[in-house]
Amino acid sequence: MNVASICRFIMSRWSLFVAILALLAGVSFLVLRSVIEPRGEVDFRFFWLAGHLWAGGLDPYSDRFREIGATMLPPGNVVLYWFYPPQWWIVSRGMALFDLERAVMIWRLLNGALILLGTALVTASVKDDVRRRWTAMAFWGGVALLIEPTANLLAFGQSAGFVYMSLALLVAGVLRRRPWLVGLAVFLATFKPQVGLMVLFWALLVPSFRGAALAGLGGAGLLTLPHIMQAGISEAVRAYLSNAAKWADMPSNAPVASSGPAGLLTRLGAGNADLIWQILAAAAVTVCAAWMIRRQPFRPVAPLLLLTTAIACLMPLHIYDLTVLLIPLILLTLGTASPAWLPWVTLLLMARPGKIEMLLGVPQYSSDVSAGLIGLGVAGLLLFAFAIREALRDFAPLSQGGEPRETLALESSRFG
């Protein structure tokens, strides 16, 4: 099955029907888990409680976070520290306007909407043909809401929709040559520091996006002002860094419960691999991706593949963050001549890997937060390997003084 036959399938009426079914199933699942049969939240209480403390003029980075949480929150996940950066002030304060039950419903719907909108943004940035664009948007949007990382995001009440949207904005901004979208990507990515660092680092290395990146960083800085004015700049910095230093000490943030090769090696009994080498490797790949797009600004697919797979595969994330694996998968499927089997194998690995691990009796760690990371880790490495292949195919001729390979017709209308 070659690219031409895939395109014919995309243009068929059955593909549109399947895409609509996927979208309806995804939206139905989002509504089911957010409104009709919501599960008890696990992590959302951190965001909600921080908003209440800020509303009361208290510092969520202090011991008061733990003390008030013990008396105010219903039984469940015990809150210890507020790890998130102070630009969360505006979001947490907004959520604290509602009671916990209503707030978590709004939160889940918001994160689902961000994932759906981000998926539409990526697919629309790749597809030019109107019918194929809408078909791809519907299919991938439904898939994004149905896979296990998103299901875990909804169950935990986590904030991974912000991460997903930030990478979607980055991809759309680069493909459409809209620096302001890259600036928005940097702004949103700062809400998740381990993602924000790489997005900001890459954008600063690319001159055409440097100004937008600094503007996005400045916007995030402005959102920290309410906390800084309340706590004072020195105490705000000290308290945040003090709490951030405790992040790695939490069992749920150990390598065995985190994504990437270190977690896979630890699960396979190779000892406790350190996460630092993954982060250094991600930084090195980020530099390569920046160099590539500076050399060939009109051929952005391979650099974007390298950057997004490096973030998803090498930065320490949790299962609920790994919906971001769909972004490089969409780029590979719609923007390159990748094998026809790749999306189906990857989606099979991402569908319900945690349930499979549970059924097989694979040992789990940190209240089962590691469930599914084996399948998702393999999916990430697979995508990373194909991203490297695309980069070598595009840029190996340049390093030898030759011409880059011919651009696919599927790419040429959008990318120049």
* pLDDT tens digits along 27-73: 999 999 999 999 888 899 999 999 999 999 999 999 999 999 999 99
Tell me the mean pLDDT in the region 120-147.
Answer: 89
Angle subtended at Cα 203 by Cα 286 and Cα 329, rounded to the nearest 5 degrees = 55
- Residue 97 pLDDT: 96
Statement: residue 5 has pLDDT above 70: no
**Rounded distance between C-alpha atoms, residue 57 and residue 96, angstroms:** 13
- Residue 367 pLDDT: 59
Q: What is the pLDDT of residues 250-279, one digit of tens each?
A: 888 887 778 888 888 877 776 666 778 889
Per cent of the chain over pLDDT 90 is 67
Higher pLDDT: 265 or 156? It is 156
Lowest mean pLDDT among 97-106, 149-158, 338-347: 338-347
Statement: residue 3 has pLDDT above 60: no
Q: Where are the domains of the chain?
A: 3-415
- Residue 77 pLDDT: 83
Q: Give the list of residues 6+ apart from residue 284 with CB closer than 8 angstroms, or none.
A: none
Structure-token pair, residue 302? 């391979």
Q: What is the pLDDT of residues 315-373, one digit of tens each?
A: 999 999 999 999 999 999 988 878 889 999 999 999 988 888 888 877 776 556 677 88
Maximal C-alpha separation, the chain: 68
- Residue 393 pLDDT: 86
**Rounded distance between C-alpha atoms, residue 237 and residue 179, angstroms:** 30
Per cent of the chain over pLDDT 70 is 89
**Rounded distance between C-alpha atoms, residue 81 and residue 53, angstroms:** 13
**Rounded distance between C-alpha atoms, residue 326 and residue 309, angstroms:** 10
Statement: residue 299 has pLDDT above 50: yes
**Rounded distance between C-alpha atoms, residue 158 and residue 161, angstroms:** 8
Statement: residue 202 has pLDDT above 90: yes
Tell me the mean pLDDT in the region 201-207.
Answer: 97
Higher pLDDT: 412 or 227? It is 227
Statement: residue 249 has pLDDT above 90: no
- Residue 340 pLDDT: 85
**Rounded distance between C-alpha atoms, residue 102 and residue 115, angstroms:** 20
**Rounded distance between C-alpha atoms, residue 244 and residue 380, angstroms:** 26
Statement: residue 218 has pLDDT above 70: yes
Statement: residue 167 has pLDDT above 70: yes
Higher pLDDT: 112 or 296? It is 112
3-state secondary structure the chain: CCHHHHHHHHHCHHHHHHHHHHHHHHHHHHHHHHHHCCCCCCCHHHHHHHHHHHHCCCCCCCCHHHHHHHHHCCCCCCCCCCCCCHHHHHHHHHHCCCCHHHHHHHHHHHHHHHHHHHHHHHHHHHCCCHHHHHHHHHHHHHHHHHCHHHHHHHHHCCCHHHHHHHHHHHHHHHHCCCHHHHHHHHHHHCCCHHHHHHHHHHHHHCHHHHHHHHHHHHHHHHHCHHHHHHHCHHHHHHHHHHHHHCHHHCHHHCHHHCCCHHHHHHHCCCCCCCCHHHHHHHHHHHHHHHHHHHHCCCCCHHHHHHHHHHHHHHCCCCHHHHHHHHHHHHHHHHHCCCCCHHHHHHHHHHHCHHHHHHHHCCCCCCCCCCCCHHHHHHHHHHHHHHHHHHHHHHHHHHHCCCCCCCCCHHHHHHHC
Statement: residue 286 has pLDDT above 60: yes
Tell me the mean pLDDT in the region 202-216.
Answer: 97
Going by pLDDT thresholds of 50, 70 and 90, the confidence category of residue 400 is low
What's the whole-number average pLDDT of the chain? Answer: 88
- Residue 403 pLDDT: 52
